[in-house]
């Protein structure tokens, strides 16, 4: 039954389905309003989950910064080790389809603690920035032209490279919606050194343009995303690209997100994170 509920939620968050329709389906599947109300926080989290690295952690320096995007002013959450003296290799952290959430800010702080300058852009900046309402964030993000998204991601990577704390070497890591954009940034930004995509859909063209070393994390049970793996792998091999693919048995889409109890898998998330940091340290330096 848990898979049934997760499938309902997946359909909802990866489409334009109204929340009202999703809730009606959930009530029907759960057998009543009370049961659905108990299941809902398990599916989507409460938004009050504890961060792995506190925003006030004295080991880092972090805050929002503004920079020019391709279609207007952008905002990014920028974090770095407090003890860093010189310039740092830099990682662009690309959020899920809920925008620049506390979870993604936490990911940026975790990246910073590994010795990087982390730049986590708010890709909803052109239309007002990430709202508190997660459903509204999804809708706002999907209203932005896809080409403009890529242009603003490239502008983010350029901002990251030119940042006063950056050594000019830039990689990226993205999750879900951001995982697909990590792949697309690799296609559209030849200077990118490395890209890590967590359960991201694969690009269908421009693969020959990729210079970044790719690390591709996939859930074991993620049919919609995983059906594109064989074609992508074949194209990467044919183009002679540097890439590694890992699939995590017993996991579902978004297994890294500790704010989503229904799908978070601690062991798989820890292993994927270890591999992610090793990959970034190898190729972004």
Regarding whether 212 and 124 lie in a shared domain, the answer is yes
Residues 6+ apart with CB under 8 A from 160: 90, 91, 92, 117, 119, 166, 170
Regarding whether 121 and 174 lie in a shared domain, the answer is yes
Residues 137, 51: Cα–Cα separation, whole Å: 21
Residues 105, 2: Cα–Cα separation, whole Å: 29
pLDDT at 1 over 80: no
Report if residue 51 sits inside a domain. no
The residue behind tokens 């409460």 is 46
Give residue 48's pLDDT band: very low, low, confident or very high (50, 70, 90): low
Structure letter (DSSP) for residue 201: P
**pLDDT value for 45:** 85
pLDDT at 64 over 90: yes
The rounded mean pLDDT for the chain is: 95
- What torsion do the CA atoms of 275, 281, 282, 283 make, to the nearest 10 degrees? 110
Regarding whether 254 and 114 lie in a shared domain, the answer is yes
Provide mean pLDDT across the span 259-265: 91
pLDDT at 206 over 90: yes
Counted domains in the chain: 2
Q: What b-and-e string marks burial along 187-208, b requiring 16 or more CB atoms within 10 Å of the CB?
A: bbbeebbbbbbbbbbbbeeebe
Regarding whether 160 and 33 lie in a shared domain, the answer is no
Report if residue 95 sits inside a domain. yes
Regarding whether 7 and 109 lie in a shared domain, the answer is no
Give residue 31's pLDDT band: very low, low, confident or very high (50, 70, 90): very high
Report if residue 14 sits inside a domain. yes
Provide mean pLDDT across the span 260-278: 96
Q: What is the pLDDT of residues 117-137, one digit of tens each?
A: 999 999 999 999 999 998 899
Regarding whether 245 and 177 lie in a shared domain, the answer is yes
Weakest-pLDDT range from 45-54, 103-112, 243-252: 45-54
Task: Identify the domain containing residue 8 by its residue range.
Answer: 2-44
Catalytic residue among 95, 103, 189, 253: 253
| 149 neighbors 69 (Cβ within 8 angstroms) | no
Regarding whether 166 and 30 lie in a shared domain, the answer is no
Length of the chain: 285
Question: Residue 108: helix, strand or coil by DSSP?
Answer: helix
Catalytic annotation on 172?
Answer: no
| 122 neighbors 135 (Cβ within 8 angstroms) | no
Q: What tokens does 122 get?
A: 């708010």
pLDDT at 231 over 60: yes
Report if residue 279 sits inside a domain. yes
Report if residue 55 sits inside a domain. no
Report if residue 136 sits inside a domain. yes
Catalytic residue among 106, 176, 217, 279: 176
Give the phi and the psi of residue 153 in degrees, each rounded to 5: -70, -40
**pLDDT value for 67:** 97
Regarding whether 80 and 191 lie in a shared domain, the answer is yes
pLDDT at 47 over 60: yes
Catalytic residue among 10, 106, 122, 222: 222
Regarding whether 270 and 231 lie in a shared domain, the answer is yes
Regarding whether 27 and 141 lie in a shared domain, the answer is no
Regarding whether 199 and 100 lie in a shared domain, the answer is yes
Regarding whether 74 and 14 lie in a shared domain, the answer is no
Q: What is the CATH number of the domain that holds 239?
A: 3.40.50.1820
Give residue 244's pLDDT band: very low, low, confident or very high (50, 70, 90): very high
Report if residue 50 sits inside a domain. no
Q: Is the dihedral of CA 94, 95, 96, 99 positive or negative?
A: negative
Report if residue 171 sits inside a domain. yes
């Amino acid at each position: 039954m848990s898979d049934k509920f997760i499938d309902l939620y997946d359909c909802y968050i990866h489409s334009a389905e109204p929340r009202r329709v999703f809730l009606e389906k959930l009530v029907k599947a759960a057998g009543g309003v009370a049961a659905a109300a108990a299941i809902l926080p398990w599916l989507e989290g409460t938004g009050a989950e504890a961060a792995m690295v506190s925003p006030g952690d004295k080991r880092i320096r972090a805050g929002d910064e503004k920079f020019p995007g391709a279609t207007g002013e952008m905002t990014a959450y920028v974090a770095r080790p407090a003890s860093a003296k010189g310039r740092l290799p830099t990682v662009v952290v690309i959020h899920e389809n809920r925008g620049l959430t506390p979870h993604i800010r936490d990911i940026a702080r975790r990246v910073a603690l590994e010795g990087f300058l982390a730049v986590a852009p708010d890709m909803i900046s052109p239309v007002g920035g990430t709202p508190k309402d997660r459903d509204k964030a999804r809708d706002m993000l999907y209203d932005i032209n896809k080409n403009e998204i890529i242009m603003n991601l490239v502008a983010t990577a350029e901002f990251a490279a030119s940042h006063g704390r950056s050594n000019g070497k830039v990689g990226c890591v993205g999750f879900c919606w951001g995982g697909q954009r990590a792949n697309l940034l690799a296609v559209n930004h030849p200077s990118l050194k490395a890209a890590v995509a967590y359960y991201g859909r694969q690009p269908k063209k421009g693969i020959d343009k990729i210079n970044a070393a790719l690390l591709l994390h996939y859930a074991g049970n993620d049919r919609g995303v995983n059906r594109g793996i064989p074609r992508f792998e074949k194209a990467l091999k044919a183009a002679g690209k540097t890439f590694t693919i890992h699939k995590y048995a017993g996991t579902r889409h978004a297994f890294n997100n500790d704010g989503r109890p229904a799908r978070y898998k601690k062991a798989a998330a820890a292993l994927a994170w270890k591999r992610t940091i090793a990959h970034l340290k190898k190729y972004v330096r």
